[in-house]
Amino acid sequence: MLPSDIALIRRQFATVKGQEAAFGAAFYARLFQDAPRLRVLFPPDLADQSRKLMMTLGFAVASLDRVEALRPVVVELGCRHVAYGVDAGMLAPVGHALLATLADTFGPGFDTDARAAWLSAYSTLAAMMAEGLDAARNRVA
């Protein structure tokens, strides 16, 4: 990722500070609207799940310029998600819901450049998650 893309993502993400619960709720509402089959993977009360989402996003955003530090954490996250029933095919609807939530949150600020930067970041993270999912499945097989 370009340093300018990372800076843009960090500036935008910083504006969510203090609104984490609302962002998380909007994300999960969008995810379950787009992919209702995924709802069964989550607890009825999403407050803790939203908190975890925002912590993970915060770590990822802070680490975008240090992939060597980010990779093992996200790969391990992917490994753990196998136990929850997650597979690589579920990463696309998650990405779509994230981008849609970002677009709703940032409005006109989520322009072509912002969308491309966030998509690049999510694609990188999703590839790492998929790596972890595959690794965990291969250990079980």
**Average pLDDT for the chain:** 95
- Average of per-residue pLDDT across 16-34: 97
Domain containing 119 equals: 3-140
pLDDT, residue 140, reads: 64
In this predicted structure, the answer to whether residue 141 has a pLDDT above a threshold of 90 is no
In this structure, what token pair is assigned to residue 120? 């690049």
Asked if 93 contacts 34 with a C-beta cutoff of 8 angstroms, the reply is yes
Specify the number of domains making up the chain: 1
- Average of per-residue pLDDT across 5-23: 97
Alpha carbon distance 60, 104 (integer Å):
21
CATH number at residue 59: 1.10.490.10
